[in-house]
Amino acid sequence: MVEYVPGIPILKPYIDADNKPYWDAVNDHKFVVQQCNKCKNYYQPPRPMCPECLTLDTMDFVPASGKGEVHSYIIYTTDKMAYPGMKIPYAVMVVELDEGVRITANNADDIDTEEIHIGMPVEITFVDIDDSLTLYQFKKREA
């Protein structure tokens, strides 16, 4: 789980035309991944053009399973390098989704920092930080 330090804002995503559908979906507690409707490749982070097809109008955002495995993770154990708005220790995980793309996020409340390991099965869940910000996190999943 992660705990925030009251009074210190969380750094928000920088939303623009290339990623707005992605974060709008997160706001609605839905998880989407960018997919080119021509070559069917998935992409993360979202981008304005498919590098395979070189097309601008084929970049859809499609519902994704949100299921995957921990590919790597780190634990901020001292405040030296950590973001001051989050209480230490906190973990950040890179999760490889079934779709093949890797997503970075924190662990949800049901996962203790100490039990995170590479290969751990996880799935997306959502947390409303405040009125203007919703983020995704990863919670436990049966293998």
Partner 1 sequence: MTSIKDMTAIAGIGLTEYSKGTERTEWSLASEAIKLAADDAGIKVKDIDGLVKDIDDGWDCSYVQKTLGIDNLLYSSESHWGTSSMLNVVTAVASGTANNVVYYRSRKGATTTRRSPSDYRVAKETLDDSISILRIDFYEPYGLATPQGCAAMLQQRYMHEYGITPEQMAGVIIGISEYGAKNPLALYTDKPVTMDEYLNSEMTVAPLRDIDCAPGVDAGIAILVTRTEMAKDLQQTPAVIMSAAQGAAIEGEFLTGYNQEKMTDFPETMNMAEELYRVAGITAKDINVAQLDDRFAPLVPMQAEALGLCGKGEGAAFCGAKSLPINTAGGSIGEGFMDSNRIVEAVRQVRGTSTSQIDNAEIILYAAGAGGPADGLIIRK
Residues of this chain that bind Zn ion (CB under 5 A): 36, 38-39, 50, 52-53
Q: Which does residue 143 bind out of partner 1, Zn ion, none, counting CB within 5 to 8 angstroms by kind?
A: none
Question: Which residue, 14 or 131, has its beta carbon nearer to partner 1?
Answer: 14
E strands present in 32-120: 32-36, 42-43, 59-63, 67-76, 90-97, 102-105
Is residue 74 a contact partner of residue 91, using CB atoms and an 8 Å limit? Answer: yes
50 interacts with, out of partner 1, Zn ion, none, CB within 5 to 8 A per kind: Zn ion
What is the C-alpha separation between 60 and 62, in angstroms, rounded? 6
Q: What is the closest distance, in whole angstroms, from the C-beta atom of residue 63 to partner 1 in the complex?
A: 19
Q: Residue 17 touches which of partner 1, Zn ion, none (CB < 5 to 8 A by kind)?
A: none
Partner from partner 1, Zn ion, none contacting 44, C-beta within 5 to 8 A by type: partner 1
Supply the minimum distance, in Å, between the C-beta of residue 18 and Zn ion.
15
Q: Is 122 exposed, middle or buried (0-12, 13-18, 19+ CB in 10 A)?
A: buried
Q: How many residues does the chain have?
A: 143
Choice between 54 and 81, CB closer to partner 1: 81
Say how far apart CA 85 and CA 93 lie, in whole Å: 18
Task: Tell me how far CA of residue 29 lies from CA of 86, 122, 127, in angstroms.
Answer: 22, 17, 8
- Residues forming contacts to partner 1 in the complex (CB under 8 A) are 2, 8-14, 44-45, 51, 71-78, 80-86, 90, 92, 94, 101-102, 104-106, 118, 133, 135
Using the minimum distance from each CB to Zn ion, give the nearer residue, 28 or 60: 60
Q: What is the CA radius of gyration of the chain?
A: 16
